[in-house]
Structure 1
Amino acid sequence: MSIGRLHHVIFDCPEPLAMATFYSQLLGAPITYTDDDFAVVSVDNRTSGLAFQRSRDQRPPTWPDPAIPQQIHLDVMVDDQAVAHERVLALGATPLPGGDHVYADPAGHPFCLIPRPHWAPPVNG
């Protein structure tokens, strides 16, 4: 028996709506809630997803330097890493040194673009 069920994965960030917009476009999911200090990206307003909470003093991780740890990161499966690379750069992602297809989102959180596993259906198909 579980204690609970995952609701949202929450990112601290200086601009919640900007972060929600970035991840909405990256993942093809709508922004389902927003106020001045909080925004949610999920399939619909009754589904768990990613949430972004205002943190005026949030400091981006310095990965791979451990001075400020990763804090959180996402693996995002993609059909084609080269195509996805160009698209995330256009959204405002920054490639990070020392990793294969590792990027920072606009607030500095790292994420990875991983090849779609053979068992997963196509991302865009």
Structure 2
Amino acid sequence: MIATLQCTVIDCLDPSTLGAFYHGILGGDLDTADPSWVDLRTPDGTRIAFQQVPVHRPPRWPDPEHPQQVHLDFEVPTRADVERAHEEVLALGATFLHDSGGKRSGFRVFADPAGHPFCLCYGQSAEPAVAG
């Protein structure tokens, strides 16, 4: 092993808003002391940082002219749980993009407020969620 992952950094126009969005999904501690760099430490110790980029070009999934750059997958146990989670992420400011349609396993693709795609994954899928 060469290193361990310190954090995932997501570019955006407004780090405080995007940090609050993911805090609503994951919980944890949100550090907004520096409005150009916001840190989220989740209850399991994962760290996601949000970095201000004044000329941010949001992805437009699945448009290859505006590639997704990065996406996060969030696990929920069942399709019934994804129904609840779907409504909750919309209330936080997500935009619904796609449903894989699986009955026992699958994923739904959303865009966060800065346009980055993310997936709510459910069940035991043999294939990883692919948002692009």
TM-score (norm 2): 0.79
Give identity over the alignment, percent: 43
1:14-29 to 2 correspondence within 5 Å? 14-29=13-28
Q: After the TM superposition, which segments of 4 or more aligned residues of structure 1 sit over 2 Å from their partners? A: 97-100
Contact 1:17–1:34 (CA under 8 A) maintained in structure 2: no
Counterparts of 1:112 and 1:77, CA distance in 2: 8
For the Cα contact (< 8 Å) 2:98–2:108, is it kept in 1?
Answer: no
How far apart are residue 8 of structure 1 and its match?
A: 0.9
Distance change in 2, residues 1:40/1:117 (3 Å): farther
Q: CA RMSD in A?
A: 2.0
Q: Which residue of 1 aligns with 2:53?
A: 55
Which letter does structure 2 place at the counterpart of 1:16? P
- List gaps (5 residues or longer) in structure 2: 101-106, 126-132
2:117: which partner in 1? 110
Gap change, CA 1:30 and 1:116, over 3 Å in 2: farther
| Count of residues paired in the alignment | 115
Q: How far off its partner does 1:116 sit?
A: 4.9
Pairwise CA distance, 1:29: 1.8
Alignment of 1:86-105 (within 5 A): 86-97=87-98, 100-105=107-112
Unaligned runs of 5+ in 1: 119-125
